[in-house]
Amino acid sequence: MNKKIVFATHNEHKVQEVRTMLSPLGYEVLSLSDLHLSEEAEETAETFEGNSRIKAEDIARRLPRYAVLSDDSGLEIRALGGFPGVHSARFMEGEGYEKKNKAILERMKGIEDRRAAFVTVMTYIDEERKIEKSFRGEDTGRIVSSFPEGKQNGFGYDPIFFSDALQKTYGEASPEEKNRVSHRSRALRQLFAHLGGRA
Ligand code: IMP
């Protein structure tokens, strides 16, 4: 019988990434949408680890018989003290990402140190509530100097993040290229190894 893991998100794109890696290990990955559940926990922590745990523990309380996985992620810009960091989703809430990205480039005007990293922390809680583990994935790079022209792949801050590993922006990368190096895939590979896979 397949083991069920609830992934504490409504983002189908993320669910698909996790499903692709965990299905071969015999795990069935369910999203909050699959279970008709809302996200109730408020992300009040100041770290990715903290917010990821808040989400996982909330769902574990509400679904006592399932193993639970959560993630929290964002973009950290070194010269801005880690901003937008845990506030990546809430920064200029209500505005589209073109505006948010342009606002970040505006803040970075004249700043030479453009180093940045995408970060994901995933938390896993097993169904017997004996194990709670966090996995941190990072991809380093820098913030581009001008807003890129033309159609972009991906979402969020992808167009303004130039990945060291890819030597191009996430916006220019194909989904496969991004998945090879991204913060989320790096955290996911650690979870995959923890669950017995050979990543
Ligand atoms: P979440 O907590 O994983 O939902 O991510 C918070 C926010 O970080 C998202 O709303 C995006 O703004 C940003 N973010 C996270 N991962 C990515 C990514 O892979 N590309 C671009 N932006 C991302």
Give per-residue pLDDT as tens, 28-44. 999 999 999 987 788 99
Ligand 1 centroid from CA 128, angstroms: 30
Ligand 1 centroid from CA 1, angstroms: 33
The CA distances from residue 72 to 24, 52, 56, 60, 114, in Å, are 24, 5, 10, 16, 23
For ligand 1, whether the C-beta of 157 sits within 6 Å is yes
The count of other CB atoms within 10 Å of the CB of residue 167 is 10
Give per-residue pLDDT as tens, 156-166. 999 999 999 99
Q: What is the pTM of this model?
A: 0.91
Give per-residue pLDDT as tens, 170-197. 999 998 899 899 999 999 999 989 888 7
Residue partners of 149: CB distance under 8 A and separation at least 6: none
Note the pLDDT of residue 13. 81
Query: For the chain, what percent of residues have pLDDT higher than 90?
Result: 72
Note the pLDDT of residue 116. 98
Amino acid at 150: G
* Nearest CA, atom 23, ligand 1: 156
58 is catalytic: no
Counted residue by residue, the chain has a size of: 199
- Where does residue 173 rank: exposed (0-12), middle (13-18), buried (19+ CB within 10 A)? buried
